């Protein structure tokens, strides 16, 4: 044996990693047993851009939801104008605003059935059809009844798109991208609201309706080009199609066979192989199983707490609230700026979701919303006293309520407006993910309706300042609940999350370095690393 070559004699039972180094200790060459570690990393993560594109296309339909939310704020003033083509009174205007909320819960429930029985892709295609018909009906309306019908149809489509967009995104993306990309739905809604507010200042509601129909048409056409999710295909005993789907979503360098094998093994373990359709009894059993019931309870309470923080009260009554705050700023300018801030921080929240996780952003929203709502309520209490004093006192620090509202939107957007919608696609088991996701979005939109409808009643019972203080208390109470019950799903696979709620694993927290799974502190999976210096023999 010479010094020119390194000859290594090892026991075949344990294969340590051998690295050749120079005299200074720097790595020079690796032996055949460990050469080319980079391909293994490439095989772990597929092409990120392909997953990003798939997620963007799946969430185009959520922009329509934002357009629907913002449309009533634009159309009602024009319909009530003296030169309106279709004049409406106050009662008819309230129906124009609220009728979309009637169709939304129905669409939420139907979307779950369509997803689980026909697939995520077909559900996303089908949801665009009533939205397209609804916008065309409004654009061609010659009487208020046609506007009513169009609002119901667009609300129905809005309810259908929510859960499929998030479930599709969660199933076609890998854990390191899933949180950020699932937040695209919230970004799309904020973008739609801002587009509608901005365009509504320059065009008529008929033209605006015609422009709005372009979004669901684009979403439908692009979705035809996308693959079905591999999770759904495996659950329906179609592994060959799942391989083709993963090849499109991950790229050629990714080990698609391994992921399909993992999906098949997990589907067999959870009895989600789709050999036969779930009957009524099996469906009920799956719905009341802890893997479904626990996350459903968590998300239902999450949506209730975040809706009663006052977010949609601010959104729906923004102009009125800015007017009554006593600020000297133009109320319409403040409203548009509020839409801009909401969009910007929805994007910021999507980025932070990948870095910070779900729990920290939720805590930021809970504490921030609570403090700002209480602050706004206290200011309005003093303003109430000033207005009713004799003689009335001129309000001071009129910038304070505006600051409270903007800080409220910022803190609410980075957590409350993103996290629960992302978790709809993460927490539920494969067998009933679509169905329970539809139930959850139905509950979420029901809370929107309750909060918006009860706001005028609360202002009569508690005055405006008391109502906002109550909203702040809801946020603080929600923060305590989230601290105790909300799991952290950042970086976890859908299989790990389902195992956690099923009780197969006790925690989603990461194991400490050097413990569990044979992983050493240096990330070498517990394998010994032997360093061979150049021109020297092993002892």
Span 101-149, pLDDT tens digits: 778 888 888 887 888 889 999 999 999 999 999 999 999 998 999 999 9
Which pLDDT band, with edges at 50, 70 and 90, does 304 fall under? very high
**Helices 144-172 and 90-118, axial angle in degrees (round to 10):** 30
CA-to-CA separations, 80 to 74, 90, 93, 415, in angstroms, rounded? 11, 8, 8, 37
- Tokens standing for 494? 């859908």
Residue 38 has a pLDDT of: 44
The whole-number pLDDT of residue 84 equals 85
Q: Name the CATH architecture for the domain at 289-506.
A: Up-down Bundle (1.20)
The first and second tokens of residue 159, run together, are 């309810």
Rounded CA separation 362/486 (Å): 9
In b/e form, how buried is each residue of 151-171, taking b as 16+ CB within 10 angstroms?
Answer: bbbbbbbbbbbbbbbbbbbbb
Q: Is the pLDDT of residue 211 over 90?
A: yes
Cα 141 versus chain centre, distance: 34
Question: How large is the average pLDDT for residues 217-238?
Answer: 90
Cross-strand pairs, 531: 19
Q: CB–CB of 99/151 below 8 Å?
A: yes
pLDDT band at 271 (very low <50, low <70, confident <90, very high): low
pLDDT band at 324 (very low <50, low <70, confident <90, very high): confident
User: What does the pLDDT average to over 185-211?
Assistant: 87
pLDDT at res. 273:
52
User: CA torsion angle for 426, 450, 216, 197 (degrees, to 10)?
Assistant: -120
Contacts of 101 (CB under 8 A, 6+ apart): 155, 445, 448, 449
As a whole number, the mean pLDDT across the chain is 80
Q: What is the pLDDT of residue 507?
A: 77
Domain boundary assignment for the chain: 46-226, 230-270, 289-506
Tell whether the model's pLDDT for residue 450 goes beyond 90: no
Give mean pLDDT, residues 279-286: 76
Compute how many other C-beta atoms are within 10 angstroms of the C-beta atom of residue 85: 13
46-226 against 289-506: fold identical: yes
Most confident of the ranges 60-64, 99-103, 104-108, 503-507: 60-64
Question: What is the largest distance, in Å, between two alpha-carbon atoms of the chain?
Answer: 105
Token couple for 531: 């360093």
pLDDT confidence of residue 77: 79
The more confidently predicted of residues 41 and 45 is: 45
Q: What is the pLDDT of residue 365?
A: 95
Q: Which of 115-119, 433-437, 490-494 has the highest mean pLDDT?
A: 115-119
Q: Is the pTM of this model over 0.75?
A: no
pLDDT of residue 359: 92
Q: What is the CATH number of domain 46-226?
A: 1.20.1250.20
- Which residue has better confidence, 430 or 369? 369
8-state DSSP, 492: -
What tens digit of pLDDT does each residue of 21-40 get? Answer: 444 444 444 333 333 444 45
What b-and-e string marks burial along 472-508, b requiring 16 or more CB atoms within 10 Å of the CB? bbbbbebbebbeeebbebbebebbebbbbbbeeeeeb
H helix or E strand, kind and range, residue 21: strand 17-21
């Amino acid at each position: 044996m010479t010094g020119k070559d390194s000859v290594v004699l090892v026991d075949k039972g344990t294969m340590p990693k051998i690295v050749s180094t120079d005299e200074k200790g720097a790595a020079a060459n690796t032996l055949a047993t460990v050469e080319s570690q980079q391909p293994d990393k490439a095989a772990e993560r597929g092409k990120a851009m392909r997953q990003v594109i798939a997620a963007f296309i799946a969430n185009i339909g959520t922009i329509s939801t934002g357009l629907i939310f913002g449309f009533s704020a634009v159309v009602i003033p024009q319909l009530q104008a003296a030169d309106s083509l279709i004049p409406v009174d106050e009662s008819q205007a309230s129906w124009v605003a609220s009728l979309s909320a009637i169709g939304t819960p129905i669409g939420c429930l139907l979307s779950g059935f369509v997803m689980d029985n026909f697939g995520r892709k077909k559900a996303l295609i089908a949801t665009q059809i009533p939205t397209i018909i609804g916008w065309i009906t409004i654009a061609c309306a010659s009487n208020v009844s046609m506007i009513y019908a169009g609002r119901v149809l667009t609300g129905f489509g809005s309810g259908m798109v929510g859960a499929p967009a998030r479930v599709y995104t969660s199933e076609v993306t890998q854990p390191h991208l899933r949180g950020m990309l699932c937040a695209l739905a919230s970004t799309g809604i904020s973008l739609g609201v801002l587009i509608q507010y901005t365009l509504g200042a320059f065009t008529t509601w008929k033209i605006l309706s015609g422009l709005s129909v372009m979004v669901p048409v684009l979403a439908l056409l692009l979705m035809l080009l996308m693959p079905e999710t591999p999770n759904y295909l495996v659950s329906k005993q179609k592994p060959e199609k799942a391989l083709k789907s993963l090849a499109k979503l991950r790229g050629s360098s990714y080990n698609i066979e391994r992921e399909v094998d993992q999906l098949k093994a997990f589907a067999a373990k959870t009895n989600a192989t789709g050999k036969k359709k779930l009957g009524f009894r099996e469906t009920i059993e799956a719905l009341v199983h802890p893997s479904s019931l626990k996350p459903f309870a968590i998300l239902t309470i999450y949506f209730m707490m975040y809706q009663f923080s006052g977010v949609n009260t601010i959104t729906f009554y923004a102009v009125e609230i800015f007017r009554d705050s006593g600020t000297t700023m133009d109320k319409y300018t403040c409203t548009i700026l509020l839409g801009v801030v909401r969009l910007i921080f929805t994007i910021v929240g999507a980025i932070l979701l990948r870095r910070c996780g779900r729990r920290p952003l939720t805590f930021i929203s809970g504490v921030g919303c609570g403090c700002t709502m209480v602050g706004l309520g206290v200011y309005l209490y003093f303003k109430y006293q000033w207005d009713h004093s004799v003689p009335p006192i001129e309000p001071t620090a009129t910038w304070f309520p505006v600051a409270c509202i903007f800080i409220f939107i910022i803190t609410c957007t980075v957590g409350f407006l993103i996290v629960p919608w992302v978790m709809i696609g993460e927490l539920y088991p494969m067998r009933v993910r679509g169905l329970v996701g539809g139930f959850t979005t139905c509950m979420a939109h029901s809370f929107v309706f309750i909060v918006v409808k009860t706001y005028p009643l609360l202002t009569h019972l508690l005055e405006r300042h008391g109502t906002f203080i109550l909203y702040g208390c809801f946020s603080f109470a929600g923060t305590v609940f989230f601290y105790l019950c909300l799991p952290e799903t950042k970086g976890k696979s859908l299989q790990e999350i389902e195992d956690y709620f099923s009780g197969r694993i006790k925690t989603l927290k990461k194991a400490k370095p050097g413990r569990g799974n044979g992983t050493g502190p240096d990330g070498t999976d517990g394998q010994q690393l032997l360093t061979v210096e150049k021109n020297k023999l092993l002892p």
